[in-house]
């Protein structure tokens, strides 16, 4: 079951740009609670408290019980807006969560055991292609993140959504063949093929079964003019 955190808020007596600016001058961030077939409820939260929660991470996947004048509202943050210059929160949206409700949510992808990957050991890198996964699950079963084990990832290969196991009761809204992580080589991840007369990329060698690629004979180093005249 997802962890529920507490958050204090106050009701806003009025709405509009002027009222929102007044809240910000008072050190508060205007927001709204909506959803669950109920009218929207304008609120404001402490600016410093909200900033700390956003910077702590996983803000948009955390369930909160908002204490509003003695009444608690179970919500989940759906969006927040930052000032383009100061990079401070200027507005936040919360969605009500009814009992047993199902929600669509974007959950971050966590890559694990990258140091054990054969490709990394040969000097390659692990590239994260998809940073978040769109999921559908109950409000009581929201995962904080999805794990992707890349301990067997080779250079030139990829890890797809169908290769990982999602938590019980969680459904993916993305294609099963969506690429999550890929392994790529670099200049340091090369080795000399026996008899090839040049340096080959690691992925070319692995695809050819460990020997010289078929087209190696067409790519042998050319002789210099001095060597030809001799």
Model pLDDT for residues 50-80, shown as the tens digit of each residue:
999 999 888 888 889 998 888 889 899 999 9
More confident of the two residues 200 and 132: 132
The answer to whether the beta carbons of residues 75 and 94 sit under 8 Å apart is yes
Output the average pLDDT for the chain. Answer: 79
Q: What is the rounded average pLDDT of the residues 180-201?
A: 55
Report the candidate in 146, 149, 139, 141 with the shortest Cα–Cα distance to residue 166: 146
* pLDDT reported for residue 53: 92
pLDDT, tens only, 123-154: 888 889 988 888 888 877 888 888 889 888 88
pLDDT, tens only, 77-99: 999 999 999 889 999 999 998 87
The answer to whether the beta carbons of residues 188 and 123 sit under 8 Å apart is yes
What are the residues whose beta carbons fall under 8 Å from the beta carbon of 59, sequence distance 6 or more? 53, 77, 80
SS3 227: helix
Most confident of 13-17, 31-35, 142-146: 31-35
Asked if the model's pLDDT at residue 32 lies above 90, the reply is yes
Rounded Cα distance, 190 and 203, in Å: 9
Q: What is the reported pTM?
A: 0.64
What domains are there in the chain, each with its CATH number? 4-98 (2.40.240.10), 103-184 (2.170.120.20)
* pLDDT reported for residue 52: 92
* pLDDT reported for residue 100: 74
Helices and strands, counts by H and E, the chain: 5, 15
Asked if the model's pLDDT at residue 187 lies above 60, the reply is no
Rounded Cα distance, 121 and 117, in Å: 6
Report the candidate in 140, 12, 7 with the shortest Cα–Cα distance to residue 66: 7
Confidence of residue 2 (pLDDT cuts 50, 70, 90): low
* pLDDT reported for residue 214: 44
Rounded Cα distance, 203 and 175, in Å: 26
Rounded Cα distance, 135 and 155, in Å: 29
């Amino acid at each position: 079951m997802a962890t529920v955190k507490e958050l204090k808020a106050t009701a806003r007596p009025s709405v509009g740009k002027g009222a929102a600016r007044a809240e910000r001058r008072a050190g508060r961030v205007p927001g709204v609670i909506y959803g669950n077939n109920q009218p929207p409820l304008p609120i404001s939260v402490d600016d410093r408290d909200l900033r700390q929660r956003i910077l702590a991470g996983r803000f948009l996947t955390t369930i909160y019980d908002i204490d509003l004048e003695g009444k608690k509202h179970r919500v989940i943050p759906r969006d927040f807006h930052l000032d383009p210059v100061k990079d401070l929160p200027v507005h936040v949206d919360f969605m009500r969560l009814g009992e047993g409700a199902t929600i669509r949510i974007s959950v971050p992808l966590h890559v694990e055991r990258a140091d054990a990957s054969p490709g990394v050991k040969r000097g390659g890198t692990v590239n994260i292609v998809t940073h978040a996964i769109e999921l559908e699950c109950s409000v009581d079963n929201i995962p904080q993140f999805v794990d992707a084990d890349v301990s067997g990832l080779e250079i030139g290969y990829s890890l797809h959504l169908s290769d990982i196991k999602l938590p019980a009761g969680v459904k993916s809204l993305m294609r099963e063949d969506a690429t999550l992580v890929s392994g790529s080589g670099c200049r340091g991840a090369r080795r000399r093929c026996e008899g090839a007369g040049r340096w080959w990329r690691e992925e070319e060698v692995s695809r050819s079964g460990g020997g010289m690629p078929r087209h190696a004979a067409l790519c042998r180093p050319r002789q210099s003019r001095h060597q030809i005249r001799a």
